[in-house]
Amino acid sequence: MGSPRLPSLGRCLYDRPMMQTTYTGPPLDDPALLDRLPEDLGSILRQENGWIRFDGGLHLRGACREPSWHSLRVAWEGPQAFSALYPEVRPEDIPFAEECLGDQFLLRDGLVVRMTAGLGDVEELGVTLLQFLERAQADPVDFLGLHPLLRFQAEGGRLAPGQLLSAYPPYWTVEAEDGVSLRAVSAHDLHGALADMARQMRD
Protein backbone atom coordinates (compact mmCIF):
# COMPACT_ATOMS: atom_id res chain seq x y z
CA MET A 1 0.00 0.00 0.00
CA GLY A 2 1.37 3.41 -0.93
CA SER A 3 1.82 6.29 1.47
CA PRO A 4 -1.38 8.29 2.14
CA ARG A 5 -1.37 11.58 0.27
CA LEU A 6 -3.16 14.78 1.08
CA PRO A 7 -6.33 15.32 -0.93
CA SER A 8 -6.14 17.91 -3.69
CA LEU A 9 -6.90 21.45 -2.62
CA GLY A 10 -10.48 22.54 -2.99
CA ARG A 11 -12.22 25.89 -3.28
CA CYS A 12 -12.48 28.10 -0.20
CA LEU A 13 -16.02 28.76 1.01
CA TYR A 14 -15.49 32.51 0.77
CA ASP A 15 -13.75 32.31 -2.62
CA ARG A 16 -10.55 33.77 -1.16
CA PRO A 17 -7.05 32.71 -2.29
CA MET A 18 -6.33 31.04 1.07
CA MET A 19 -5.57 27.54 -0.08
CA GLN A 20 -1.93 27.85 -1.04
CA THR A 21 0.94 26.71 1.16
CA THR A 22 2.61 29.81 2.58
CA TYR A 23 5.36 27.96 4.47
CA THR A 24 6.99 24.57 4.01
CA GLY A 25 9.05 22.99 6.76
CA PRO A 26 12.81 22.46 6.46
CA PRO A 27 14.37 19.13 5.48
CA LEU A 28 13.81 16.32 7.96
CA ASP A 29 16.44 16.33 10.68
CA ASP A 30 14.58 14.40 13.40
CA PRO A 31 14.10 10.91 11.91
CA ALA A 32 13.91 9.30 15.34
CA LEU A 33 10.68 11.18 15.97
CA LEU A 34 9.15 9.87 12.75
CA ASP A 35 9.55 6.29 13.95
CA ARG A 36 7.29 7.07 16.93
CA LEU A 37 4.47 8.63 14.93
CA PRO A 38 1.33 6.94 13.58
CA GLU A 39 1.82 5.74 10.02
CA ASP A 40 -0.45 8.35 8.42
CA LEU A 41 1.23 11.32 10.10
CA GLY A 42 4.71 9.94 9.49
CA SER A 43 3.92 9.38 5.80
CA ILE A 44 2.67 12.95 5.39
CA LEU A 45 5.76 14.42 7.02
CA ARG A 46 8.05 12.30 4.85
CA GLN A 47 6.37 13.82 1.79
CA GLU A 48 6.39 17.38 3.13
CA ASN A 49 7.85 18.21 6.53
CA GLY A 50 4.94 20.24 7.79
CA TRP A 51 3.48 23.43 6.40
CA ILE A 52 1.34 26.51 6.96
CA ARG A 53 -1.79 26.87 4.83
CA PHE A 54 -4.86 29.09 4.59
CA ASP A 55 -2.81 32.29 5.11
CA GLY A 56 -1.77 31.11 8.58
CA GLY A 57 -5.07 29.44 9.39
CA LEU A 58 -3.58 25.97 9.93
CA HIS A 59 -0.03 25.02 10.89
CA LEU A 60 1.03 21.37 10.59
CA ARG A 61 4.21 20.82 12.61
CA GLY A 62 7.24 18.97 11.25
CA ALA A 63 9.93 16.53 12.37
CA CYS A 64 12.70 19.10 12.81
CA ARG A 65 14.74 20.69 15.56
CA GLU A 66 14.56 24.22 14.19
CA PRO A 67 12.76 26.51 13.94
CA SER A 68 11.42 25.65 17.39
CA TRP A 69 7.93 26.99 16.60
CA HIS A 70 7.65 24.40 13.81
CA SER A 71 9.13 21.49 15.76
CA LEU A 72 6.73 18.70 16.68
CA ARG A 73 9.25 17.43 19.22
CA VAL A 74 9.28 20.78 21.06
CA ALA A 75 5.48 20.82 21.18
CA TRP A 76 5.30 17.19 22.31
CA GLU A 77 8.20 16.88 24.77
CA GLY A 78 10.21 18.99 27.18
CA PRO A 79 9.41 22.10 29.25
CA GLN A 80 7.33 23.76 26.51
CA ALA A 81 5.32 20.66 25.64
CA PHE A 82 1.58 21.17 25.77
CA SER A 83 1.27 18.23 28.15
CA ALA A 84 3.52 20.19 30.53
CA LEU A 85 1.45 23.36 30.15
CA TYR A 86 -2.02 21.78 30.35
CA PRO A 87 -3.13 18.97 32.68
CA GLU A 88 -5.90 18.20 30.16
CA VAL A 89 -3.27 17.13 27.59
CA ARG A 90 -1.85 13.65 28.05
CA PRO A 91 1.86 12.96 27.43
CA GLU A 92 0.91 10.52 24.68
CA ASP A 93 -1.26 13.09 22.87
CA ILE A 94 0.50 14.26 19.70
CA PRO A 95 0.09 18.04 19.15
CA PHE A 96 0.42 17.81 15.39
CA ALA A 97 -1.19 21.11 14.39
CA GLU A 98 -2.67 24.42 15.51
CA GLU A 99 -5.05 27.02 14.11
CA CYS A 100 -4.53 30.76 13.83
CA LEU A 101 -5.67 31.65 17.39
CA GLY A 102 -3.46 29.02 19.02
CA ASP A 103 -6.02 26.27 19.61
CA GLN A 104 -4.26 22.91 19.35
CA PHE A 105 -5.14 19.79 17.41
CA LEU A 106 -4.00 16.58 19.08
CA LEU A 107 -3.94 12.97 17.97
CA ARG A 108 -5.38 10.83 20.76
CA ASP A 109 -5.96 7.11 20.25
CA GLY A 110 -5.97 7.60 16.48
CA LEU A 111 -8.54 10.41 16.46
CA VAL A 112 -8.25 14.20 16.45
CA VAL A 113 -9.20 16.30 19.47
CA ARG A 114 -9.21 20.09 19.65
CA MET A 115 -7.99 21.96 22.72
CA THR A 116 -9.18 25.52 23.29
CA ALA A 117 -5.87 26.92 24.45
CA GLY A 118 -7.17 29.79 26.60
CA LEU A 119 -9.41 27.42 28.57
CA GLY A 120 -7.71 24.03 28.36
CA ASP A 121 -10.99 22.44 27.27
CA VAL A 122 -10.63 19.39 25.04
CA GLU A 123 -13.23 18.49 22.41
CA GLU A 124 -13.30 15.20 20.51
CA LEU A 125 -13.83 15.82 16.79
CA GLY A 126 -14.47 12.18 15.96
CA VAL A 127 -12.31 12.14 12.83
CA THR A 128 -9.02 10.54 11.86
CA LEU A 129 -6.03 12.62 10.80
CA LEU A 130 -6.72 12.23 7.08
CA GLN A 131 -10.42 13.00 7.57
CA PHE A 132 -9.45 16.09 9.54
CA LEU A 133 -7.18 17.32 6.75
CA GLU A 134 -9.82 16.59 4.12
CA ARG A 135 -12.45 18.61 6.00
CA ALA A 136 -10.03 21.43 6.67
CA GLN A 137 -9.17 21.72 2.99
CA ALA A 138 -12.79 21.45 1.87
CA ASP A 139 -14.03 24.23 4.18
CA PRO A 140 -11.23 25.85 6.17
CA VAL A 141 -13.16 28.92 7.30
CA ASP A 142 -16.03 27.14 9.04
CA PHE A 143 -14.31 23.89 10.02
CA LEU A 144 -11.26 25.59 11.57
CA GLY A 145 -13.04 28.77 12.65
CA LEU A 146 -11.01 31.23 10.57
CA HIS A 147 -13.46 34.14 10.67
CA PRO A 148 -11.11 36.20 12.92
CA LEU A 149 -8.32 35.66 10.38
CA LEU A 150 -10.54 36.92 7.57
CA ARG A 151 -11.32 40.03 9.60
CA PHE A 152 -7.63 40.55 10.38
CA GLN A 153 -6.81 40.29 6.68
CA ALA A 154 -9.62 42.68 5.76
CA GLU A 155 -7.98 45.21 8.09
CA GLY A 156 -4.68 44.80 6.24
CA GLY A 157 -3.03 42.31 8.60
CA ARG A 158 -0.91 39.30 7.63
CA LEU A 159 0.53 36.42 9.64
CA ALA A 160 4.20 35.67 9.01
CA PRO A 161 5.56 32.14 9.59
CA GLY A 162 5.97 31.65 13.34
CA GLN A 163 3.17 34.08 14.18
CA LEU A 164 -0.34 33.50 15.49
CA LEU A 165 -3.30 35.78 16.02
CA SER A 166 -3.82 37.24 19.48
CA ALA A 167 -7.43 38.19 20.27
CA TYR A 168 -8.13 40.53 23.20
CA PRO A 169 -10.39 40.01 24.96
CA PRO A 170 -10.68 36.34 24.03
CA TYR A 171 -13.71 35.46 21.93
CA TRP A 172 -15.14 33.18 24.57
CA THR A 173 -15.41 35.97 27.18
CA VAL A 174 -18.44 38.18 27.85
CA GLU A 175 -16.26 41.24 27.25
CA ALA A 176 -15.73 40.17 23.64
CA GLU A 177 -19.32 41.23 22.90
CA ASP A 178 -18.07 44.84 23.00
CA GLY A 179 -15.37 44.14 20.39
CA VAL A 180 -12.12 42.25 19.99
CA SER A 181 -8.69 43.57 19.06
CA LEU A 182 -6.55 41.36 16.83
CA ARG A 183 -2.79 41.46 16.36
CA ALA A 184 -0.01 39.19 15.13
CA VAL A 185 2.32 37.88 17.83
CA SER A 186 4.98 35.18 18.02
CA ALA A 187 3.60 31.68 18.48
CA HIS A 188 5.88 31.15 21.49
CA ASP A 189 4.53 34.25 23.26
CA LEU A 190 0.91 33.36 22.54
CA HIS A 191 1.33 29.78 23.75
CA GLY A 192 2.65 31.04 27.07
CA ALA A 193 -0.06 33.67 27.46
CA LEU A 194 -2.87 31.22 26.68
CA ALA A 195 -1.45 28.60 29.04
CA ASP A 196 -1.30 31.22 31.82
CA MET A 197 -4.90 32.20 31.07
CA ALA A 198 -6.05 28.59 31.27
CA ARG A 199 -4.16 28.16 34.55
CA GLN A 200 -5.92 31.18 36.03
CA MET A 201 -9.28 29.82 34.89
CA ARG A 202 -8.57 26.52 36.66
CA ASP A 203 -7.51 28.33 39.83
The DSSP annotation for the chain comes to: -PPP-PPPP---TT--S--SEEEEPPPP--HHHHTTS-HHHHHHHHHS--EEEGGGTEEE-BS-SSSGGGBHHHHHSSTT-HHHH-TTS-TT-EEEEEETTS-EEEEETTEEEEEETTTTEEEE----HHHHHHHHHH-HHHHHT-HHHHHHHHTT--PPTTEEEEEES-TTSGGGGG--EEEEEEHHHHHHHHHHHHHHHH-
Q: Sorting pLDDT into bands at 50, 70 and 90, what band is 19?
A: low
> Model confidence at 15, in pLDDT bands (50, 70, 90)?
very low
Q: What is the pLDDT of residues 143-190, one digit of tens each?
A: 999 999 999 999 999 999 999 999 998 777 778 778 889 999 999 999
Q: How high is the mean pLDDT of the chain?
A: 89
